[in-house]
Amino acid sequence: MQSVPLWLDYLEFKKSHDQDVVERNTEGVYKMRDLYEQALASAGLHFTEASKIWGLYRQFEIDLLNSMPDAMNEVSCEFLCLILHLCFFD
């Protein structure tokens, strides 16, 4: 099992240093979602610390939703609902 603090540091690094992610363009959004999925696959079941990764992922999607034009909100809202469901009900 991978280290949750290491994943958290890496995710924060990518959010602040990867140009595509900083600009929130399509490639950057997919890149971060893929990294969150990798982090969750690797450490998402850690008994005491997995919620930190889920929380970062949830906050990323909320921030993304708040920065999008209204036309894109519906798609992102559905994605966020899926994440929240996985986080709290599975």
pLDDT tens track for 1-46: 468 899 999 999 999 999 999 988 889 999 999 999 999 888 877 8
Which pLDDT score, from 0 to 100, does residue 32 have? 94
Alpha helices in 44-69 (DSSP H): 50-67
Which pLDDT score, from 0 to 100, does residue 46 have? 80
Average pLDDT (56-82) is: 73
Predicted model pTM: 0.73
Give which of 18, 15, 17 is closest to 64, Cα–Cα: 15
Which pLDDT score, from 0 to 100, does residue 24 have? 86
Q: What percent of the chain has pLDDT over 90?
A: 38
